[in-house]
Chain A
Amino acid sequence: MIKLNVNGRVHEVDAPADTPLLWVLREWLGMTGSKYGCGAGVCGACSVHLDGDMVRSCAVSVGDVGAGKILTIEGLSPDGLSHPVQKAWLAHEVPQCGYCQSGQIMAAAALLKAVPKPTDDDIDATMQNICRCGTYQRVRAAIHAAARDGAA
């Protein structure tokens, strides 16, 4: 049994230690907000926070998480809407198909925690998440807006 702290709750998970965190979240814990896009740590759809840092959960083995605190999209705000990043996303109508957006939002929230007023260059360097619909322009605008509203 592996103990896993997700969104402030400790879960006991009967999964092999080399199982990717993403699939433990999705299949063992039934938390499907984090998405599978590439399984190779490239697309960012599975982004979660581990002790406050953004990680690609498809590329982290559950056995390596240890006592680390995991935050997923389900735990970002109590109502799923009130985190400044979520509010900015809604105001800017960022999502199209929406499939990458959990990861985009988690990556943006981690960026703003580390850099409360990011420049365009900061955003370029950090936001590596793939969006096939092409919402990047609005992602950028929404990050700036969330920074103005004090996301940190």
Chain B
Amino acid sequence: MNQINGLGRRGFLGTVAAVAGGMSLGWTIPEAQAQGAANSAATAAGGVEVGIWAVVMPDDTVVVRIARSEMGQGTLTGLAQLVADEMDADWAKVQAEYIAPEVNQANRRAWGDMSTGGSRGIRASVDYVRKGGAAARAMLVQAAATQWGVPVGECGASESVITHRPTGRTLRYGQVAAAAAKLPVPADVAVKPPAEWKIIGKGVKRLDTVEKLSGKLVYAIDLQLPEMLNASIAQCPVFGGKIGSFDAAKVMGMPGVRHVLRVDDSTIAVVADKWWQAQTALKALPIVWDEGPNANVDSASIARHLESGLDAKEAFVGLRQGDVEAGLKGAAKVVEATYGSPFLNHATLEPMTCTAKWDGTTIEVWVSSQNGDASLAAAAEAAGVPLANVKVNKHHLGGGFGRRGKQDYVRQAVLIAKQVPGRPVKMIWSREEDMQHGFYRPITMAKMKAGLDAQGNLVALHARLSGQSILAHLFPARIAGGADPVMFQGWNKEEFGYQAIPNVLIDHAMRNTHVPVGFWRGVNHNQNAVYLECFLDEVALAAGKDPLDFRLGLMGQMPKLRAVLQAAAEKAEYRKPLPAGVFRGISANYGFGAYTAAVAEVSVSKEGEVKVLRIVAATDCGYAVNPDQIAAQVEGSFVYGLSSVFTSENTVEKGRIVEGNFDTYEVMKLAQMPKVETVIVPSGGFWGGVGEPTIAVAAPAVLNAIFAATGKRIRTLPLKHHDLSHA
């Protein structure tokens, strides 16, 4: 049983660099047919694996294996729904468990990619997890048929009970699981047509809520192990700088302090019995940093650097149709505007944290990670051991938003543990460390230019991006011919919503900085949608057209985007006048495989105080696995997205991030939360993302409404720097 069948057929696709530098993991397409042999909490508790995706307990509980990470987005529940529905399991008795990264690795990655980002948790797993569920069902039904000695075709299953239709005899899944587990996993299984879904498409309760209400859920930061020590770290505040010197003797006598360690060239750790003691000593530790040349960089110099890209000759083309130069030249009217967005920290509420234990040959880590595979690889690389000598314990994340795909904190925890062999060491970053050592949403600017003909038709659009590339920082090997395709999120051939514009050029002048950047929920869509969706409002105004009609007229080639915008407009009663003092803005976007649109209603007092009164947000993600959780993601998108509109930004002085905590990096609180009405318009036929797409429409809808209210067009964020008072 300890073998994986069927991997040869679809075979080895290649390798992906698992985020940690250099170390690659073989990547194979998961197989419903693979025969598992994975020890897990569920098997240890007496369950048996039926296929690799489900463990059936004697009491019929079905424990669904989860390879992706749960960070609040609901993927754990959604994936369990997919498997359970195909299994015809009783949802009331479904649970979920993580498959351990080292188990995945030892089984030739039978459970597939563990990376959890890009709103791919469901849509990139859906084919193989559903087949896994269907395979398990087939095995269970076959086992019952064999026990009865009847043709399998006479048997059916529902809610974890198998029925022999001619005689009415029944067997429960728990009764036949052991026999089912011995059967070969069927090579080809059909999945249900949507009409037969019973659990998919239902707003069932999340599987992970109860422990979050009692304080009992153990996040990585909460881990307590025998003999555990705690570490707090300081990294050179200037990115690219190094440790000059530090005086460990000054703090070694402080309560609880055990070690003061050089973690790497730029990181110092204090290890103590308790974290608070480590943190107290770290603050008292005299450190001299060798800040290096980046200490001269500040937000103003970065702005100049980006401005130089707005008219630069050299730029990478992301989208070209027609001849934009000719289009602009022949235009009756040209509209031009320059937009910009700052760096933004992810600011997960649980700061970066990881526990590691080194015993001389193996390394074990406990971590909240968006990518279990990458954590495994990062730990192996940092410890200098083969992958087989690593164990990774996955915890639910206290927020991810893209930050915890990066494994810097895993590497640090391992480097600390290697210097303290035999005892687990839990490293927690202080909030300030977290705020000032992120992988920030990249800073970008955009110069937008549009040409209108005499009838007010948009005949040419040029968007020139200038700014920082995520791939150049994180995956330089994926920069193709110098270009970073991720810059053009929402603006590439597949995603661009306004393909009816005859002449379009979208290009990017790469302007990198020394500030580390990364994938921030809604990756680059956010900034690009602000630039395009706000600018389109400007152009509509110049053309004397209604912003909704103007957009709909350009969306001919994107019928689903058009439909989702119309759905939002209809629910918001866009054609009806609003009460005095209330103003609307709209926006639409296609990204992460889903179509989204929003209508915002705001009021702005004469003094400039903005109130977002109502949001109508429509989303078409194809199939809606769990409508209630989709609504939760849509609602939350307006918090994450509007925080960036109103208050959040990271600035740079003397080469370092200025903001240290939530007093200066302000984020939205409950009082600012608008009423969000989610409209799900699942058109079927595809599986789109959910966690990120809506963020892109949050900011521009509100900014457009603010313009309608004030006549002030805000083109640089956040709003806190702008005076919105008006007559």
Q: Which residues 618-648 of B sit at the A interface, judged by CB distance below 8 A? A: 628-629, 632, 635-640
Q: Which residues 643-671 of B sit at the A interface, judged by CB distance below 8 A? A: 661-663, 667-671
Which residues from B are CB-within-8-Å of A36?
Answer: 221, 351, 428, 431
Looking at the complex, which one of A26, A79, A80, A99 makes contact with B398 (CB distance below 8 Å)? A99
Report the separation of the CA atoms of residues A62 and B428 in the bound assembly, to the nearest whole angstrom.
21
**Nearest residue in B to A125 (C-beta to C-beta)?**
B671
Shortest A117–chain B CB gap in Å is 18
Report the separation of the CA atoms of residues A102 and B221 in the bound assembly, to the nearest whole angstrom.
14
Number of interface residues of B (CB under 8 A): 60
Report the separation of the CA atoms of residues A136 and B612 in the bound assembly, to the nearest whole angstrom.
14
Shortest B221–chain A CB gap in Å is 7
Say if the beta carbon of A144 comes within 8 Å of chain B: no
**Nearest residue in A to B676 (C-beta to C-beta)?**
A137
Which residues from B are CB-within-8-Å of A137?
Answer: 635, 673, 675-676
Report the separation of the CA atoms of residues A116 and B211 in the bound assembly, to the nearest whole angstrom.
26
Which residues from A are CB-within-8-Å of B221?
Answer: 32, 35-36
Looking at the complex, which one of A32, A105, A127 makes contact with B222 (CB distance below 8 Å)? A32
Interface flags for A111-133 (1: CB within 8 Å of B; 0: not) read: 00000000000011101111111
Looking at the complex, which one of B212, B274, B401, B428 makes contact with A132 (CB distance below 8 Å)? B401
- Once the chains bind, are A98 and B639 in contact (CB under 8 Å)? no
Interface flags for A1-36 (1: CB within 8 Å of B; 0: not) read: 000000000000000100110010011101111111
Report the separation of the CA atoms of residues A32 and B398 in the bound assembly, to the nearest whole angstrom.
13
Tell me if B's interface is mostly helix, strand, loop or mixed: loop
- Once the chains bind, are B74 and A96 in contact (CB under 8 Å)? yes
- Once the chains bind, are B209 and A80 in contact (CB under 8 Å)? no
- Once the chains bind, are A32 and B212 in contact (CB under 8 Å)? no
**Nearest residue in B to A83 (C-beta to C-beta)?**
B213
Interface flags for B363-393 (1: CB within 8 Å of A; 0: not) read: 0000000000000000000000000000000
Say if the beta carbon of B208 comes within 8 Å of chain A: yes
Looking at the complex, which one of A23, A30, A101 makes contact with B275 (CB distance below 8 Å)? A23
- Once the chains bind, are A80 and B214 in contact (CB under 8 Å)? yes
**Nearest residue in A to B348 (C-beta to C-beta)?**
A132
- Once the chains bind, are B669 and A73 in contact (CB under 8 Å)? no
- Once the chains bind, are A43 and B349 in contact (CB under 8 Å)? yes
Known: A32-B218, A93-B205, A136-B673. A40 touches B632 (CB 8 A): no
Q: Which residues 389-417 of B sit at the A interface, judged by CB distance below 8 A? A: 396-401
Interface flags for B208-228 (1: CB within 8 Å of A; 0: not) read: 111111111111011010000
Known: A23-B275, A32-B215, A38-B431. A96 touches B636 (CB 8 A): yes
Say if the beta carbon of B71 comes within 8 Å of chain A: yes
Looking at the complex, which one of A37, A72, A79, A139 makes contact with B215 (CB distance below 8 Å)? A72
Say if the beta carbon of B276 comes within 8 Å of chain A: yes
- Once the chains bind, are A23 and B276 in contact (CB under 8 Å)? yes
Say if the beta carbon of A97 comes within 8 Å of chain B: yes
Say if the beta carbon of B587 comes within 8 Å of chain A: no
Shortest B526–chain A CB gap in Å is 14
Interface flags for B576-602 (1: CB within 8 Å of A; 0: not) read: 000000000000000000000000000
Shortest A34–chain B CB gap in Å is 7
Interface flags for B667-684 (1: CB within 8 Å of A; 0: not) read: 111110101100000000
Which residues from B are CB-within-8-Å of A37?
Answer: 349-351, 431, 662
The 3 nearest A-B residue pairs measured at CB: A33-B215, A80-B214, A134-B639
B interface residue numbers (CB < 8 A to A): 71-74, 205-206, 208-219, 221-222, 224, 230, 255, 274-276, 347-351, 396-401, 428, 430-431, 628-629, 632, 635-640, 661-663, 667-671, 673, 675-676
A interface residue numbers (CB < 8 A to B): 16, 19-20, 23, 26-28, 30-40, 42-43, 45, 72-74, 77, 79-81, 86, 89-90, 93, 95-102, 105, 123-125, 127-140
Between-chain CB contacts (< 8 Å), 22 pairs: A23-B276, A27-B230, A32-B215, A37-B350, A38-B662, A39-B431, A40-B431, A43-B349, A81-B213, A89-B213, A90-B209, A93-B209, A95-B72, A97-B348, A98-B396, A100-B349, A105-B213, A133-B639, A133-B640, A134-B639, A135-B635, A138-B632
> Could you list 10 further interchain pairs (A-B, Cβ under 8 angstroms) beyond the known A26-B222, A72-B215, A98-B398?
A27-B274, A27-B275, A28-B274, A45-B349, A90-B205, A95-B213, A97-B349, A99-B348, A132-B667, A133-B639
